[in-house]
Amino acid sequence: AQRVADGQGNAAPKRATRSVADIVRANVFTRINAILGVLLLIVLATGSAINGLFGLLIVANSVIGMVQEIRAKQTLDRLAILGQAKPLVRRASGARSLPPEEVVRDDVIELGPGDQVVVDGVIVEEHNLEIDESLLTGEADPIVKDTGDAVMSGSFVVAGAGAYRATSVGSESCAARLAEEASKFTLVNSELRNGINRILQFVTYLLVPAGLLTIYTQLFTTHAGWRRSVLRTVGALVPMVPEGLVLMTSIAFAVGVVRLGQRRCLVKELPAIEGLARVDVVCTDKTGTLTESGMRVRDVEELAAPSETVAEILAALAAADARPNASMQAIAETYDRPPDWIATASAPFTSSTKWSGVSYRGHGNWVIGAPDVLLDPASAAAQRAERIGSQGLRVLLLGAAEDAVDHPGAPGRVRAVALVVLEQKVRPDARATLEYFAAQGVSVKVLSGDNAVSVGAVAGELGLRGETMDARRLPADDRALADALESHTTFGRVRPDQKRAIVHALQARGHSVAMTGDGVNDVLALKDADIGVAMG
C-alpha cells in the first residue's frame, strides 16, 4: 500500500475506446444536422409540426452512425476485459494471483508456460525459460532468458519457468509507453465525407441569401401571412440541402459494415469502408498475420541408418520433454505416437548447452540440438545444416550419443542421424489473400521484426515477388526511403518507429496505405495509416 501511495504501482492510465458521449456528440453535431435542425426549429415555431417531418432525417443520419460505433466500442471493451492477465505475485503471505494494477515495483512475479509478462522487469530465477517477444519486436523466434536478463511487458512465456522482479510499472513500462503514443483518437480520412462537407459548406452560405430573398418575396410580393411565408420559405430551402446524399452514403457504409461483420471483421467508424476501398498499398506484419504462432516440421533428412526408426526416436524425445520449447512442440505434433521406452536419464535444453537428450534402457542415448554444437562445425552434416539454415529455416540435429545424457562429459561423441528442418506455420489463407491483392492491383509490403532471411523465406513460400531488405540498411532520408520501398517488397528487422516512417513515406508518394498487425510493435503504424487493421 505504501508503494502504491508513493506512485510505484502499476495503475497505468486507462486507454479505452471513445466514450458513448463522444460518439453521440460526433454523430449528432454534424453540419447537415445543424442545417436541418435550424430549419426544423423555424417550422416548429409556426406551430405546424406536420411540415417538420424532414427532421426524421436528423434522427436517421445520427442513429446509423451511433449504433454501429457504440456496438464496436462495446465489443472492443469486452475483448479488453477478457484479455487481462492475472500474474502470480510473491508476497509475504505467499504467492497469489493479482490484477495487473495491483503489482508494484520490486514485486517478484512467477512465470510459467503461457503466462504474460505484465510489467517490465529483470529475471531473478529461470529454468529453461523462453520468452516470445513477437508482439513487441516482431521477432518470431522465442528468446532464451537467463538470470539478469530484462523482460518487457506484453511478451509471453512459451517454455520453461522462472520469476522476475518488477522494475518499470504503470506508464513507465514498454507497452504503456507505446500505448500512450498511440492513444490519441483521429478520424478516418474520408474523401467522400470531406466532399460532402464541402458541398454542405457551400449550401450553408447559399441558404442565407436565398432564404432572405424567398421570405421577402412571400411577405411583400404575394402578401402571404408570416406563417405561410415561413413554411413556403423552408419548403423551398429544404430541397437545396442534399440530405438524401448524406442518408444514402450512411446506408451504403452501414451495408458494408454488415458485410464485413459477416466475415468476422469489426469496423469502428463507418467511413472506414470507403477508405478500405481506396487502399492501393497494404503493409503487413509477418508474425501473427501471414504466419501463425509456433513451428512445424518441414522435412527430416536422414544422414545414417539408426538402430531405431527416426520417427520413433523423435516421438520418444518429444514425449519425454516435460517443458517443451517451440521446436519440440512442433516435433510432438508431427510425431505423436511415442514408443513405450523406459527413460533412465534426461537432460533438458538450456541456453548454455543448446541441446537436450534422453537415455533409454535398451534403446541408446539420443540427443537433439544445434548442429554446430553437437558436431564439428567443419563436418559435412554441420555444413549441410548451415546451408539449410541460410534459407530462413531452423535446423536441429538428431544424434546418437556415446555417453548417457547425465554423464559429466555428456553428450560425448555424437553420431549424426538426421537433420530436422523446421519452419514457421503459415496461415492457410495467406497465399489466397496475397493473390487476391495482386489481382486487385494492390501492392503488399511485408514489414517484420524477424531476420530478413526468415521473412524472405516466408514471402517466397507465399509466392510474393520482390527483393528482401534488412531494415537496418534503410536510409533515414524520406525521399531515399520512399525509393527503397518502391524497389523492395519484404523487410526484416523493422523497428516500430521504422514501420511508422514507412507508412509516412508511402503516403507522401500519394498512396493510400492500410497497415495490418497484431502486436504492440505495430500500433504506431496502425495509428498513422489511412486504414489500420488489427488482427485478433
Indicate which residue of 107, 115, 120, 285 is catalytic: 285
How far is residue 172 from each of residues 58, 105, 124, 178, 517, measured CA to CA in Å? 45, 11, 20, 10, 24
Cell (9 digits) for 517: 498487425
Spatial separation of the C-alpha atoms in residues 127 and 110, rounded to whole Å: 12
Cis status, amide bond into 411, omega within 30 of 0? yes
Q: In whole angstroms, how far apart are CA 150 and each of 144, 145, 159, 168, 213? A: 11, 8, 17, 11, 74
Q: What is d(CA 497, CA 493) in angstroms, rounded to the nearest whole number?
A: 12
Cell of 62: 445520427
CA separation for the pair 243, 437 (Å, rounded): 35
* All cell numbers assigned to 479: 525521399
Output phi, psi for 3, to 5 deg: -70, -35
Distance of CA 365 to the CA centre of its chain: 43
| Residue 326: DSSP 8-state | H
- Whether 146 is a known active-site residue: answer no
- The beta strand positions in 113-247, using DSSP E, are 120-132, 143-144, 150-151, 156-168
What sign has the CA pseudo-torsion 341, 346, 347, 349? Answer: positive
Q: Is 387 helix (H, G, I), strand (E, B) or coil?
A: helix
Supply φ then ψ for residue 97, to 5 degrees: -80, 130
Instruction: List beta partners, residue 144.
Output: 130
Residue type for position 78 = R
Within 8 A by CB and 6+ apart from 126, the residues are: 145, 146, 147, 160, 161, 162
Here the cell at position 100 is 495487473
Instruction: Report the run of H or E that residue 371 belongs to, with start and end.
Output: helix 371-374
- Check: CB of residue 241 under 8 Å from CB of residue 203: yes
As annotated, the active-site residues are 285
